[in-house]
Structure 1
Amino acid sequence: MTDSTQKPDPEDELAGTEQPFVAHLMELRDRLIKSIVAVGIVAVALAIYPGPGHLYDLLAAPLIAHLPHGATLIATSVISPFMVPLKILLMAAFMIALPVVLYQVWAFVAPGLYSHERRMVLPLVVSSTLLFFAGVAFCYFLVFGRVFAFIQSFAPKSITAAPDIEAYLSFVLTMFLAFGLAFEVPIAVVVLARLGVVSVEQLKHFRGYFIVLAFVVAAIVTPPDVVSQLSLAIPMCLLYEVGIWAARAFIKNTSAPADEAETAGS
């Protein structure tokens, strides 16, 4: 009579670590609560200092600096002076608390990953976060000033610019998202190469097509001016090259044990 009990594979490092489905749900709940609490604590701190109004002033500073003397932003809705700074407060709180949120996500999924998968996921999470922040900072400190100066240089003297605060917030969020995602190009390249969708040599061959794609994307997601389009397309092309270099190093250092054995035997 054969024993029907299945024994765990002694070489499987995750054997015996399974948990009931309810336990996973409870842990997910706890991680979500911790993430929300982290965002809430940062939001309260920002509400106390510097305050929602000052946060909006910081966000509007690049535009205010290039408006005609005495011109200001306007609110066309009754509740806009309250809602817009509040939205900015919550956005800033989430971005500041993002490392804590990502850590909770990592702590939830890490126990179910093999060691070689942890070597792959953790660097991607950290680097993608840093690259997104770098894209937002690049947009705010380097792009906004040049874009607003270029746009105002075309404004007729008979027109007094008075942008609406909700329209400005929508424009800023769109630009932040565009540049933040554009700076994720190396991550996308690394993931595609690591999953075997494309090889490093194919990525090199696709370089010319990607340059065209970068300028097409920049023309779609940015305002119709040369400055903002070049400011997005050129970093995307440079980051694509960084992604090719990173993909080669990443594949070498995150191979599974079976892949490493095959590589050594070949």
Structure 2
Amino acid sequence: MELNDKELNLMDHLEELRKRLIITVVAFLIFLCATFIFVKDIYLFFTRNLDDHLIVLGPGDVMWIYFTIACIIAIAFTIPVLALQIWLFVKPALKKSEQKITLLYIPALFLLFIGGLAFGYFVIFPLVLNFLIELASGVMDISFTVEKYFKFLLNMSLPFAVLFELPIVMMFLTSLGIIDPYVMAKIRKYAYFVLIVVAVVITPPEFMSDFIVTVPMLLLYEISISLSKIVYKRKLKKAKAIEDFS
């Protein structure tokens, strides 16, 4: 009988997870369709600083770039929906106080994702692009295809959108008891090494570019640890208060 109860409980969880995933996918598709209405204007915004029009090598490139732009925008708007569905899924396992605190992470996830994209696009992307153009100036004729230009733009922007989510993700996982910020602090040197390697890989072989990218990454890691420690200490304090009361 207990086994059947466990199986039913597992099926209920799987059904709930399926429901949350369906809602997220439907939201993404709605945002994707809505973004396609304005995709041409968005494309013109991203190419406004170019002296010449981008080159299209085939008719498929037009659809590829419009679809890619629409997908990125739709993903950004879907993040709060996904975060809300995750919160609703784990809500029954959280205490009342934990529910209120973790609910605040949802708008923060969206804002940090947008902030990371903005940092990558307005700071890192022009820095690296101008460096490469100056490197080729007087030696090569410079022209960009739509595909190459936007792949480069995404490579310079998307990693920061993901990295900017790190503080909130670590705080959320800490509140659930999945990670320990003090352990994350102990493995700091390994994390630094990985982040520096990533910074060097995505930037040109020039110290200033590497430095400008590396510093925000390291700061984000330290901010994540500090915020997670606050969550961790509050959690321990509440647990101790409950234990003393009982």
Q: Name the TM-score, length of structure 1 as normaliser.
A: 0.71
Does 1:199 pair with 2:186? no
How much does 1:73 deviate? 1.6
**8 A contact 1:179–1:232 mirrored in 2:** no
The structure that has the greater radius of gyration is: 1
How much does 1:157 deviate? 2.1
How much does 1:261 deviate? 4.6
1:163 aligned partner, one-letter code: F
Question: Out of 138, 141, 154, which is 1:173 matched to?
Answer: 154
Note the 1:154-173 alignment, pairs <5 A.
154-173=135-154
- Paired position in structure 2 for 1:57: 44
Note the 1:77-116 alignment, pairs <5 A.
77-115=58-96
How much does 1:87 deviate? 2.0
Q: Provide the secondary structure at the position in 2 that maps to 1:91.
A: helix
Q: Provide the secondary structure at the position in 2 that maps to 1:159.
A: coil
Hey, what's the Cα distance between the residues in 2 that align with 1:131 and 1:90? 18
**8 A contact 1:185–1:243 mirrored in 2:** yes
Note the 1:255-266 alignment, pairs <5 A.
255=236, 257-261=238-242
Relative to structure 1, the CA distance from residue 232 to residue 123 in structure 2 (aligned partners, 3 Å threshold; closer, same or farther) is farther
Give RMSD over aligned pairs.
3.5
**8 A contact 1:117–1:254 mirrored in 2:** no
Hey, what's the Cα distance between the residues in 2 that align with 1:154 and 1:144? 15
Q: Provide the secondary structure at the position in 1 that maps to 2:221.
A: helix
Q: Provide the secondary structure at the position in 1 that maps to 2:78.
A: helix
Aligned residues: 239
**8 A contact 1:150–1:227 mirrored in 2:** no
1:199 aligned partner, one-letter code: Y
Larger relative helix fraction? 2
Hey, what's the Cα distance between the residues in 1 that align with 2:219 and 2:122? 19
- Paired position in structure 2 for 1:131: 112
Hey, what's the Cα distance between the residues in 2 that align with 1:57 and 1:126? 28
Relative to structure 1, the CA distance from residue 81 to residue 233 in structure 2 (aligned partners, 3 Å threshold; closer, same or farther) is same
Hey, what's the Cα distance between the residues in 1 that align with 2:101 and 2:218? 24
Hey, what's the Cα distance between the residues in 1 that align with 2:194 and 2:24? 36
Does 1:37 pair with 2:26? yes
Structure 2's unaligned 5+ residue stretches are none
Note the 1:59-74 alignment, pairs <5 A.
59-61=46-48, 64=50, 69=51, 71-74=52-55
Relative to structure 1, the CA distance from residue 90 to residue 243 in structure 2 (aligned partners, 3 Å threshold; closer, same or farther) is closer
Q: Provide the secondary structure at the position in 1 that maps to 2:47.
A: helix
Q: Name the TM-score, length of structure 2 as normaliser.
A: 0.76
Structure 1's unaligned 5+ residue stretches are 6-17
